[in-house]
Amino acid sequence: MARVRTAGRRRQTGVLRLVVFAVVAAVGGTALWTSLQYSEAHAAARAGEGSRLPAQEEQPEPAEWSSSRKVEPGGSDGERSSGSGASDPSASLNAWAKLTDVASLSTTSGGRGGGGGGGAEHTEERQEQEQPAEQEQEQEQQEQQQHQQQQQGARFGYLTLDLRVPKAPPTYNSWVLSEDMLLFHERALQQQLEQVYVALALAAATGRAFILPQFSCFCHNSDSGEPLPRCRRLDATDAQFPETCPEEDILQPLDEFGSPGDASAGVPLTVLPHVELAKLDVPKEKTLVLRPSATLLWPTCVAPPDPHMQLPCTTDGHTEDGTPEVLVPPSLNDTHLLPFLESYQQQYSLWRLDLSDVGSHWHAFAGWDCAGPAHAFDLRMRSAARPWPLPTGGGLLHINMTTGRTYSAEPDLKDCPGGSALRRMQGAAQPSAAAGAMA
Q: What is the pLDDT of residue 103?
A: 36
Query: What per-residue confidence (pLDDT) applies to 165?
Result: 96
pLDDT of residue 336: 92
Report the C-alpha gap between 344 and 352 in whole angstroms.
12
Contact (Cβ atoms closer than 8 angstroms) between residue 289 and residue 364: no
Q: What pTM was estimated for this model as a whole?
A: 0.64
Give domain status of residue 34, yes or no.
no
Q: What is the largest CA-CA distance in the chain?
A: 158
> Computed from CA positions of residues 326, 327, 330, 332, in that sequence, does the dihedral angle turn out positive or negative?
negative
The answer to whether residue 230 sits within a structural domain is yes
| Strand spans (E) along 170-314 | 209-211, 216-217, 243-244, 271-272, 287-292, 302-303, 306-310
Q: How many angstroms separate the CA atoms of 414 and 335, rounded?
A: 11
User: What pLDDT sits at residue 417?
Assistant: 78
- Count the helices and strands in the chain (H runs, E runs): 11, 13
In a domain, 282, yes or no: yes
Nearest-CA neighbor of 330 among 202, 163, 159?
Answer: 202
Half-sphere exposure of residue 175: CA atoms within 13 angstroms, side-chain side: 24
Answer whether residue 283 is part of any domain. Answer: yes
Structural domain includes residue 76: no
Give domain status of residue 256, yes or no: yes
Is the bond into 324 cis (omega within 30 degrees of 0)? no
Q: Evaluate whether residue 97 is within a structural domain.
A: no
State the pLDDT at residue 17: 72
Amino acid letter, 236: A
**Cross-strand bridge partners of residue 161:** 353
pLDDT at 206 (0 to 100): 94
Spell 39-75 as b/e; 16+ CB within 10 A means b. Answer: eeeeeeeeeeeeeeeeeeeeeeeeeebeebebebeee
User: 214 with 161: CB under 8 angstroms?
Assistant: no
Could you read off the pLDDT tens digit of each residue along the chain, which spans 439 residues?
555 455 566 666 666 777 666 766 666 666 666 655 555 555 554 544 444 433 334 344 434 333 333 333 444 343 333 333 344 554 545 544 454 443 333 333 333 333 444 444 445 555 555 566 776 776 666 555 544 544 444 567 999 999 999 999 999 999 999 999 999 999 999 999 999 999 999 999 999 999 999 999 999 998 788 999 999 999 999 999 999 999 999 999 999 999 887 777 888 999 999 998 778 888 889 999 999 999 988 887 755 556 566 667 889 999 999 999 999 999 999 999 999 999 999 899 999 999 999 999 999 999 999 999 999 999 999 989 999 999 998 899 999 999 989 999 999 999 987 544 444 444 433 333 333 332 2
Please say whether the beta carbons of 289 and 326 come within 8 A. yes
Range of the domain at 262: 153-425
The DSSP output letter for 414 is B
Work out the burial of residue 385: count CB atoms within 10 Å of its CB; fewer than 13 is exposed, 13-18 middle, 19 or more buried: buried
Please tell me the chain's helix, strand, coil percentages from 3-state DSSP, rounded to the nearest 5.
50, 10, 40
* Distance of alpha carbon 199 from alpha carbon 344, whole angstroms: 17
CA distances from 311 to 42, 296, 305, 329, 354 (A): 100, 9, 13, 12, 22
What pLDDT score does 283 carry? 87
Phi, psi of 196 (to 5 degrees): -65, -40
Contact 349, 87 (CB under 8 A): yes
Phi, psi of 415, rounded to the nearest 5 degrees: -90, 95
Residues 6+ apart with CB under 8 A from 151: 89, 90, 93
**231 located within any domain:** yes
Number of domains in the chain: 1
Q: Note the pLDDT of residue 276.
A: 85
246 Cβ contact partners less than 8 Å away, ≥ 6 residues apart: none
